[in-house]
Structure 1
């Protein structure tokens, strides 16, 4: 794979529930399998030379799910963060977070802060976890921040600087699994010139080979950014 590698790939990780249902298993079984896929994808992305990945882990709309499922997801997240923290030095992987802190349990916030702090100097790849995240909410928060600063004239650059993670580049490629073809309130501002790749593969079945397929298709595209 000697062509240009996307600097930043974002993932809409869809299909955990359907994957579990196909196996006559509870939804949480699918979420646990999906968490293992995250580890495989991070490893493969790092090997390919991708420098940033964003994972749509939990949206602001996901709070409408049954409380039992939310509790299971939070327990799984805590366990995953602990494992991530343990392996981060070996993998040289940095973790950052995009999203609102409110509504997240205190133990999750503590876990997040610990991992973010302990991985801040790692350089191989940055994993941006979109947690309690919504793109409209992010843009709203950015505008509120600019208004509070007394801005009278607001530019695109001003808004970009007030996104949750202004220090990382916009995604070159956005991958959505499970066959759905919509953006679902994800990175609306940052995806203005992103390439999209939709695959019918359910997230727990997505692996390094599937990521290579997506990157290969990306490499065949011509990105004009509005030009000729």
Structure 2
């Protein structure tokens, strides 16, 4: 593949960081910031069609987030349930197709039922593809994918000699999605925190200081437009 200037990112992934700090700066509990961050998601999802973003993947809760206080984790699980109930109709009306990725068995049954219902409700939608990562970790995803692949090898469905770079992605949670073109992390932290490790091998990254509840449509648009001016060489040398 030769170097070329990109027309814009088809798939944007976002690590939504900074909710707790945003709340604490206002003298409020961390969960207040998480609620503010959840409201921000709608604005960004609605901005995608005008910006040419067909796929949006957001990091809602990582496998490492269980280390937070019991009260914060319980509050987040309640927030996820209320978000799905509150936003389901709006997502359907906006023609948004919703998927969830991550280790579902680790989540409570009521939340899993709501996730299943929202996926089924929006399965035929043809607009923005919104993927929400819950109880997700990149290493955990690769480990689970490898287990599924190994079972197919053991069952004789797959020849070990045929396993290559193109094989494993078919077993990942994101197997129906294109790889992300642009990964954004808010809040000033410059790390990827175990997010889409395999899929983001050639993604462009933007680490910005803005806390997630302050991440506006205009900021999003500027980052998308900035991506369009980058030269994508994929390891090749421009001649």
TM-score interval, normalised by the smaller of the two chains? over 0.9
Paired position in structure 2 for 1:34: 37
More contact order relative to length (CA 8 Å, sep ≥ 6): 2
Paired position in structure 1 for 2:3: none
TM-score, structure 1 normalization: 0.97
Task: After superposition, give the CA deviation of every residue in 1:53-75 in whole Å (9 maximum; x if it has no partner).
Answer: 00000000001111111111011
Distance 1:132 1:195 in 2: 24
**Which stretches in structure 1 are left out of the alignment for 5+ residues?**
none
Paired position in structure 1 for 2:187: 178
Residue 135 of structure 1, CA deviation: 0.3
Match of 2:164 among 130, 150, 155: 155
Stretch deviating more after TM superposition (100-109 or 202-211): 100-109
Distance 1:143 1:103 in 2: 19
Match of 2:95 among 92, 95, 106: 92
For the aligned residue pairs, the C-alpha RMSD in angstroms reads 1.0
Match of 2:21 among 18, 26, 38: 18
Residue 88 of structure 1, CA deviation: 2.1
Paired position in structure 1 for 2:85: 82
Residue 47 of structure 1, CA deviation: 2.3
Task: After superposition, give the CA deviation of every residue in 1:77-114 in whole Å (9 maximum; x if it has no partner).
Answer: 11111122111221000100110112201110010000
* 3-state DSSP of counterpart to 2:123: coil
Query: Number of matched residues?
Result: 226
* 3-state DSSP of counterpart to 1:156: coil
Q: 4+ residue runs of structure 1 moved beyond 6 angstroms?
A: none
Residue 4 of structure 1, CA deviation: 1.8
Distance 1:111 1:87 in 2: 15
Task: After superposition, give the CA deviation of every residue in 1:164-194 in whole Å (9 maximum; x if it has no partner).
Answer: 0211100000000000000100000000100
Distance 1:214 1:78 in 2: 30
Q: Does structure 1 retain, via aligned residues, the 8 Å contact 2:51–2:224?
A: no
